[in-house]
Amino acid sequence: MTKKLYLETVGCQMNVLDSELVVGSLRRQGYELTQETTDADVILFNTCSVRQHAEDKIYSALGRLRHHKVKHSGTIIGVLGCMAQKDQEQIRRRAPHVDIICGTGQLAQLPALIQSVQRTGALQIALSLDRTQSRHEVERSFESYDPMRDPSMRPNRFQAYVRIMIGCDKFCTYCIVPSVRGPEQSRHPEQIAAEVQQLACEGCKEITLLGQTVNSYHYDLGAGRTARLSDLLARIHDTPGIERIKFITNYPKDMTDDLLEALRDLPRVCPYLHVPAQSGCNEVLKRMKRMYTAEFYRDMLARCRERVPGVAISSDFIVGFSGEKDVSFERTCDLVREARFKNSFIFKYSPRPGTKGHELYADDVPEEVKKRRNNDLLAIQNAASLQDHRRFIGTRVEILVEGPSKNAWKQESTGPVQLTGRTRTDHIAVFDGNPRLAGQTMQIDIEDATSFTLYGRVVTSEQVGVEETDCCDESVRPNQRIELPLVG
Ligand code: SAM
Ligand code: SF4
């Protein structure tokens, strides 16, 4: 009999990918997804620990399930991912109705853990070692979770994430990731290439390579040879069917020239870099242990733009980190004013027990100051994004259509609706068209822009996507010839 699975995901792209893989593997065990916790046999939360807010959300959701579990004692509730790895004691105390606690490095055990709960009714825990143990042992306890892909588990079949490494060794003082995702370990390039090939055969056109510090990727091939990210990009570049390759997230210190040259020379690698700066103040960067200065970051930006003409760059910032004074924050504002980022993600500092930052420094910036700095920096970034977006007005860009925009439901159900897609530089564009254009690469004329969005019109006189490919699944030819336009 079909069993029902409810899965809620919080956090980064790595969690989204983990969830896709978990659902794929449980579907092979006969589970079907449900949108409701009330009719689920298994309820899973794939969790994030990067900020307190993400943890609070999960504890609230678990709290709401307490009564449900009393009435339906057979329902299995599991906490997966970063919070599970970090806080098993706290989860047991605050949510004793949880049946499974499974860390990021143990997801392959999940089907067996569910069976054990069904058999014994007892709490099942699968966690990796903490980072005080020997590196080799800890590495072995964090398994890269890369089971078979299931295209029906992605929001669409033409875009996919591919994990190229796990973990992080940078230990920025504010960040919990190195503890909950373990040591940095890169996957073998041939294993990655095989996965990309399989995804392409299933109709995938765009892949995004994932790593916490993706440009630190290096795999020791033996005999003194190492595969770097630039080598990996070259290796997968000509996979038939793949039109776009992106990679996130980059670490500023590891932005090497060979990588920038690969970005410049490999046409399917998109000219887009997400390179978080975190702060523009050297004292703050030092306390964050980011290992670079604001001057280094500026030089790196200049080098990216010189080597890769037209590259779009985005960033992350933390405001209100311990010891951040008004004058330190001003340095960050200066950087954002100058840097011409496409966009920035701005976060208020959230102290994380278990990090050096929490241990060494007081959380001494009041909440209202963090809020104000967040808003001020956002306003500066929004003005820069508007300027960046407006230069597209009057130009023609290539879009990969992702599907109806979030406003599409407001429109009439027949005829064209508002569609959304992204340029090769990761700019979001909306335009009217038929929903069946999702997955197609098209030319769009940009007519207007806001800080967040380009507004365009489909180019009517062209045919795009005519390149023939040699794909193994005839039913899902990735580059089909399409007839345009379908717009009103
Ligand atoms: N590995 C990536 C990197 O180094 O940029 C990103 C990892 S983290 C999941 C994503 C972003 O969350 C970081 O770039 C940082 O801006 C933010 N972040 C991490 N720890 C934080 C904390 N304790 N409080 C607020 N924001 C935090
Ligand atoms: Fe966290 Fe720093 Fe590693 Fe990014 S590089 S995951 S911010 S420790």
Q: Where are the alpha helices (DSSP H) in 87-210?
A: 88-94, 110-120, 135-141, 177-181, 189-201
- Nearest ligand to the C-alpha atom of residue 355: 1
Per-residue confidence (pLDDT) for residue 216, from 0 to 100: 98
**pLDDT tens per residue across span 371-404:** 999 999 999 999 999 999 999 999 999 999 999 9
DSSP label of 217: -
Nearest CA to ligand 2 atom 5: 170
Secondary structure (DSSP) of 429-486: EEEEE-GGGTT-EEEEEEEEE-SS-EEEEE-SS----------S-GGG-SS-------
Retrieve residue 14's tokens. Answer: 């790595």
Which residue's CA is the nearest one to ligand 1's atom 13?
Answer: 316
Mean pLDDT score of the chain: 92
Q: Residue 209 C-alpha to ligand 1 middle, in angstroms?
A: 18
For the CA of 175, the nearest atom of ligand 1: 20
What residues contact residue 40 under an 8 Å CB cut-off, 6+ apart? 4, 5, 6, 34, 75
Q: What is the pLDDT of residue 461?
A: 62
Q: How far is CA 167 from CA 31, 177, 179, 312, in A?
A: 29, 7, 8, 26
Query: pLDDT band at residue 143, thresholds of 50, 70 and 90?
Result: confident
Q: Which ligand sits nearest to residue 214's alpha carbon?
A: 1
Radius of gyration (C-alpha) of the chain in whole angstroms = 23
CB 18 within 8 A of CB 143: no
* Span 207-222, average pLDDT: 98
180-200: average pLDDT: 97
CA distance 425 to 398: 10
H or E segment and range at residue 417: strand 417-422
- Tell me the CA–centroid distance for residue 427 and ligand 1, in Å: 22
Q: Read off the pTM.
A: 0.93
Ligand 2 atom closest to the Cα of residue 176 is: 1
Q: Is the pLDDT of residue 433 over 90?
A: yes
Q: Would the CB of 350 count as within 6 Å of ligand 1?
A: yes
Which of 50, 170, 249 maximizes ligand 2 atoms within 8 Å of its Cβ, making it the mutation to test the pocket? Answer: 170
Q: Report how far residue 277's alpha carbon sits from residue 456's, in angstroms, rounded to the nearest whole number.
A: 31
Percent of the chain with pLDDT over 90: 89
Residue 60 has pLDDT above 90, yes or no: yes
Q: What is the pLDDT of residues 406-422, one digit of tens each?
A: 887 666 666 789 999 99
DSSP labels, 112-126: HHHHHHHHH---EEE
Q: What is the pLDDT of residues 446-487, one digit of tens each?
A: 999 999 999 999 998 644 444 433 334 333 232 332 222 222
Q: Output the pLDDT for position 410.
A: 64
pLDDT 10s digits, 249-307: 999 999 999 999 999 999 999 999 999 999 999 999 999 999 999 999 999 999 999 99
Query: How much distance in Å is there from the Cα of 278 to the middle of ligand 1?
Result: 8
Q: What is the pLDDT of residues 13-52, one digit of tens each?
A: 999 999 999 999 999 999 999 999 999 999 999 999 999 9
Q: Is the CB of 12 under 6 A from ligand 1?
A: yes
**Ligand nearest, relative to CA of residue 211:** 1
**pLDDT higher than 60, residue 229:** yes
Q: Kindly identify the ligand whose nearest atom is closest to the C-alpha of 279.
A: 1
Question: What integer pLDDT is reported at residue 464 of this predicted model?
Answer: 46
